[in-house]
Structure 1
Amino acid sequence: MTAPASLSDICHEADIKTLVDSFYDKVNHDEQLGPTFNSMAQLYWPSHLLTMYDFWSSTLLGTMRFTGESITKHVALPLQGEHFQRWLNLFNATVEEKFAGPKAEEAKAKASGIAASFNPKSSRQWIPVS
């Protein structure tokens, strides 16, 4: 999908916050993912968002603020391939709505790798479904 020329790239901490807040608002209200995050994971959103700001700031801006590890916490959740695909679709849609440029493309590529790493049946070849 080609983004409108008026969108800027992900360049600043404020952009990371916009990306994370917008994406997790979608996740929180999603019929498929919302129950997983809110019920099964019993996620405490304020803390999770702070962690995600650090993660994406480290990943996209090189700030090295994220010092945790993410795989262990997610392995115990009852997630299937369709959950990972939905997560990726929502993430990509959020990026495309808010940003355009090399860092935006990098964010989508990183998210694809993350979704694939959490999916034990993945061939690491995720194709977003519109």
Structure 2
Amino acid sequence: MVTSSTLPDLRTEGDIKTLVDTAFSKATNDELLAPLCQAVAQVHWPRHLTSLYDYWSSALLGTTRYQEGQMVPLHSALPLRGPHQQRWADLLGKALEEKFAGSKAEEAKGKAAALAAIFRTA
């Protein structure tokens, strides 16, 4: 088993892709989120993943590819209240714990929790 001391921090675009892909792999196998992922996948999956790569790259690496509101059309049909956003944050946290350790990984956990909290109060 890999320990946190041997895990890399989030530093590159490849790391961002690994994070998002790992979290979405978990989401597509999660009993709560899988039906929503399947609905998005039928229409928007490649665009949605690209938007997520752009968001996390901007949030953690300081790039400027993500444009405010880019994911709003993709999320407009998803439930804003209830456990969905918290589950996503939990799965992202698990992906981070499996793949990364360090200050950027901790920052990503904080941002995911903050996003989930925003959606809970929306």
Normalization by structure 2: what TM-score? Answer: 0.86
The change in CA–CA distance for 1:68 and 1:43 in structure 2 (over 3 A counts) is: farther
Partner of 1:62: 62
Return structure 1 stretches of 4+ with deviation > 4 angstroms. Answer: 40-43
Task: Show CA shifts across 1:71-127 (max 9, x none).
Answer: 564344234322122111101000010000000000000001111111227xxxxxx
Between the two proteins, what is the percent identity of the paired residues?
50
Whose relative contact order is higher, 1 or 2, with alpha carbons under 8 Å and at least 6 apart?
Answer: 2
| Secondary structure of 1:10 counterpart | coil
Partner of 1:23: 23
Partner of 1:51: 51
Unaligned segments of structure 2, at least 5 residues? none
Q: Take 2:40 and 2:121, find their aligned partners in 1: how far apart are those partners?
A: 19
Partner of 2:83: 82
Partner of 1:99: 100
Partner of 2:37: 37
How many residue pairs are counted as aligned between the two chains? 119
Deviation at residue 38 of structure 1 after TM alignment: 1.7
Normalization by structure 1: what TM-score? Answer: 0.81
Contact kept in structure 1, 2:81 and 2:119, CA below 8 Å: no
Cα RMSD of the aligned pairs, angstroms, is: 2.0
Unaligned segments of structure 1, at least 5 residues? 122-130
| Structure richer in helix, relative to its length | 2
The change in CA–CA distance for 1:40 and 1:78 in structure 2 (over 3 A counts) is: farther
